[in-house]
Structure 1
Amino acid sequence: MVMLKCRLKIKSDKLFLMRKDILESLSLHFMNDTKSNFADLTRRYN
């Protein structure tokens, strides 16, 4: 049971980091008015 909780926590942390990364790239995209590379982002996390 504890193992499962740890695994779920790691997975949710990874999802949070992925979301954070996408948000950062989006904010950079709007600040610099350039297209961010979503294919690279998804490749990095899949």
Structure 2
Amino acid sequence: MVSCWNRGDRVFTIEPGDRIAQMVFVPITQAKFELVTLSMQRPR
């Protein structure tokens, strides 16, 4: 199922079977955080 909006000035009809969408797979990077205390931080 695809959600569509017509932001133009002309009427546009989408019929069943019309190809209107494209799927793109992209990698998702998940960061890993490490909690530290102030005594563990290095001087900059």
Q: What TM-score do the two structures reach when normalised by structure 1?
A: 0.20
Q: From the CA coordinates, give the structure whose radius of gyration is larger.
A: 2
The TM-score, its normalising length taken from structure 2, stands at: 0.20
